[in-house]
Structure 1
């Protein structure tokens, strides 16, 4: 199947990204509120969101933020959380292997969990336009910047309690994107169960964050890759 990169694919990715704003906007707002609480200015918050563009690692970095900040510790924590993007990038090779230059590096820069999930679903449905990943990623990047800015401004006006429903939006959005990845119990259930069990076991062992998340992600990814390889050889 010939892979293309067109403006039509980019626009299709943008349209698919619109519903994601329901989960991204509250998540970004939370990051903005916490950034304000840590003493970051609006410009600093936007710069972090633009360059890092990863909610989980930004939240962890803010949790470790001190005055003055330990830059090495914060950077290392963000690196550990974002290392999950390595298997994500490999899983998107069906499109990325056919791209070069700004199309490749731009797509990699704006790829997050949400765009990964929807791109895999698009490819499984027969999609061959890699512009979909780029358009979806750029749209969510702009949505992330706007939502973190709104959260920062909102945080200076309204103080949200720790148990406010807004803080659950991030978890809800990650659970929702699993629907786009689901194929069948036989194909997906074993890796998902292994990932969840490994993460829970690591949590019960009181491993520090984000080790439970990483352990679960790599365990599930390893099993899924092994099953796919064995099926391809059969």
Structure 2
């Protein structure tokens, strides 16, 4: 819970803002709770709310969410061996695999085994906090219409910059981070949508493979 707390603090204004936007589109607090519980993906929810109509265009919403959440395939692959010992708990575990939970889980795995209490302590804390903030936002979110005025718009980027730097293992890590950042920025500028997420991840993986020593030990 302590490991995920900074991300939760940064998440508060965005949860309120999402709830406010959803309420403006006619969603009730109960419907907001259902979306946040079932989808539990902030970027997808923001996009879904922006595209929301009555009746909702299910195919367009599903395709948009699929595109944005393609990064979860890579995140799940990187965690697969680390949570294999969870047994049947792997399935609820991946439901709470938000970006922030994945990042603190990977950090934890660098220090030792990733345990069930650590994963669910972080994941459920973030999950429940997101439900509270988005539902509260349907009632109070109008008080924070312009989060950029308070610097809240930079809160998430700042959190992920700090998390990324936590993976630094010396200068051999530099090509991976540089490739991911440069390709993501270039694709973001040139291609509409969320393809920059997948492109940046793919570039980082390729850079890691190319930069690895020929005799490096392969680990799961």
Q: TM-score, normalised by structure 2?
A: 0.87
Seen in structure 2, the aligned counterparts of structure 1 residues 37 and 224 have a Cα distance that, compared at 3 Å, is farther
Conserved? CA contact 2:22–2:49, under 8 Å: yes
Whether 1:85 aligns to 2:69 is: no
Q: Distance in 1 between matches of 2:154 and 2:187?
A: 22
Cα drift, residue 225 of structure 1 = 5.2
Seen in structure 2, the aligned counterparts of structure 1 residues 126 and 111 have a Cα distance that, compared at 3 Å, is same
Which residue does 1:5 correspond to in 2? Answer: none
Q: Distance in 2 between matches of 1:191 and 1:16?
A: 24
Q: Structure 1: 5+ residue runs without aligned partners?
A: 1-13
Conserved? CA contact 2:184–2:199, under 8 Å: yes
3-state secondary structure, aligned to 2:82: helix
Which residue does 2:57 correspond to in 1? Answer: 70
Whether 1:224 aligns to 2:208 is: yes
Q: Distance in 2 between matches of 1:60 and 1:218?
A: 23
Conserved? CA contact 1:200–1:212, under 8 Å: yes
Conserved? CA contact 1:53–1:110, under 8 Å: yes
148, 168, 191: which one pairs with 2:176? Answer: 191
Q: Structure 2: 5+ residue runs without aligned partners?
A: none
Q: Distance in 2 between matches of 1:139 and 1:212?
A: 29
Which residue does 1:211 correspond to in 2? Answer: 195
Number of equivalences: 216
Q: Distance in 1 between matches of 2:210 and 2:61?
A: 34
Which residue does 1:23 correspond to in 2? Answer: 10
Cα drift, residue 49 of structure 1 = 0.7
Q: Distance in 2 between matches of 1:26 and 1:229?
A: 44
3-state secondary structure, aligned to 2:192: coil
Which residue does 2:145 correspond to in 1? Answer: 160
1:39-50 equivalences in 2 (<5 Å): 39-50=26-37
Q: TM-score, normalised by structure 1?
A: 0.82
Cα drift, residue 113 of structure 1 = 1.1
Q: CA-atom RMSD, angstroms?
A: 2.2
Seen in structure 2, the aligned counterparts of structure 1 residues 183 and 31 have a Cα distance that, compared at 3 Å, is farther
Conserved? CA contact 1:118–1:180, under 8 Å: no
1:52-201 equivalences in 2 (<5 Å): 52-101=39-88, 103-156=89-142, 158=143, 160-161=145-146, 163-164=148-149, 165-187=151-173, 189-201=174-186
Q: Distance in 1 between matches of 2:205 and 2:14?
A: 25
